[in-house]
Every structure is written in C-alpha cells, then in structure tokens.
Amino acid sequence: MAETAVTAVELQNRRVEEQLEQALQKMEEWTAEQVNELRMTGPGRQAAAQAFRKVACGRNYLVLPRHTAVERRFLRMTLALAIATDPSLQDRAVELARYMSKNYPHEWLTSAVTYMGRSIAHDLILREADSAFGSTPLARQLAFVLFHHRELHITNVSDYTELYSRALSQDKAGLFHDEYPDWRLDLGLQRHPKMRKRARRPS
C-alpha cells in the first residue's frame, strides 16, 4: 500500500510539473508576441541578448551559476519586454539586467510576464477554498513558490499546504520586498503600464 501511495504522489507531481512547464512556454509565447507588437528593433534585441548573457548567465565567484534555468527564462522575458516597451533602456541594458537580477523576486511578482502564473495560483487558492470572500492576497507569492519549487527545495509540488505555508513564510521573511525602489525609479520602469499588461490565461 505504501509503495502505491508513493507512486500516486509521484505521478501527481509529474502532472503538476508538466502543467507548470506548459504555462511557462505560454508566457514565453505571449512575451514574444508583445515584443513583436511593440516593434522591438534589431539593436534592441541584440542589447537585450548581450545583457542577458553578461548578467543572467554569469557566475558567482566564477563557480556557482548566478541564476537557475527557470530564473534565466523569466529574466530573458522581463528584460526583452522592458527594452521593447522603452527603447531608451537599450543603452542601459546591462544595468537593467543587473537590477532585474538583484531585485528578481519583487520583479517576478509585479511583471506582466508572470500574470499567467499568478492567475494559476489565484485559481488554486479559490479551488482549495483558502480565501475569504474570494480574496487571494498571497496569490503572487504562491505563484512564485510554484514556479520556483526546486529552488526552494520543495519536492512535493502537488502539496498545496506546503506550497502555501512556504509562500507565507517567504513573504514574512521579506523575500519579495522591493530592495531597490530608487534604482527602479531611476530606470523609469514605473512609467510603463504596458509592462504590467495582463497576459492571457492558459487555455
């Protein structure tokens, strides 16, 4: 019986992993559509790509990767959308990438790129009846935990209680706090509502 239970949990976790990957691919597709709609120039794309390689793909102490594979995928999207939205950031692409790297959790919670992930978490909270009158104040944090469960060393990604508890504890610990408000202001990121436009929910 125990062996069957473990197998069932593993299968459930595998399904959740597949759903998260599908959602992530849809976010990448949506970002590409937005970048094309905003008519991002060739030099802009090149600047974003170079900044991404320099910052997101770098290493700490020449050994440890600065960001995981999942983080790099999100950073690539947010960086491209920011420069497509404001071409003047092209000349500050490396600085922009450094900001997004250092303030990654906060930017993840507020970026238009991750709206789809946040909507998934919102629906999950409602489905688990863990909301008061439809309120889901921890949806953004839960979404972050869902898509970064490996980084947070969560092995049972289908365990809602563990996910929600981790989201709450990380929020209380200040993981999602805006660490660089002046830097964000200087880059002008607050001026571009297009960057907060909601992506469509997964079909």
At 143-184, the pLDDT tens digits run: 999 999 999 999 999 999 999 999 999 999 999 999 999 999
State how many domains the chain has: 1
Q: What is the pTM of this model?
A: 0.87
DSSP structural state of residue 131: S
Q: Is residue 4 part of a domain?
A: no
Residue 3 within any structural domain of the chain: no
Measure the CA angle with vertex 110, ends 26 and 42; round to 5°.
Answer: 60
Q: What is the average per-residue pLDDT within 195-201?
A: 47
What range does the domain containing 115 cover?
10-196
Residue 202 lies in a domain: no
- 74 domain residue, yes or no: yes
Indicate whether 2 belongs to any domain: no
> Cα dihedral sign for 79, 82, 85, 91?
negative
Three-state SS at 51: helix
Cα atoms in the Cβ-side hemisphere of radius 13 Å centred on 67: 23
Tell me whether residue 5 is in a domain: no
| Residue 185 counted as domain residue | yes
Chain segment 41-86, per-residue pLDDT in tens: 999 999 999 999 999 887 655 555 688 999 999 999 999 999 999 9
What local confidence, expressed as pLDDT, does residue 146 receive? 96
Average pLDDT of the residues in 104-112? 94
Domain assignment of residue 203, yes or no: no
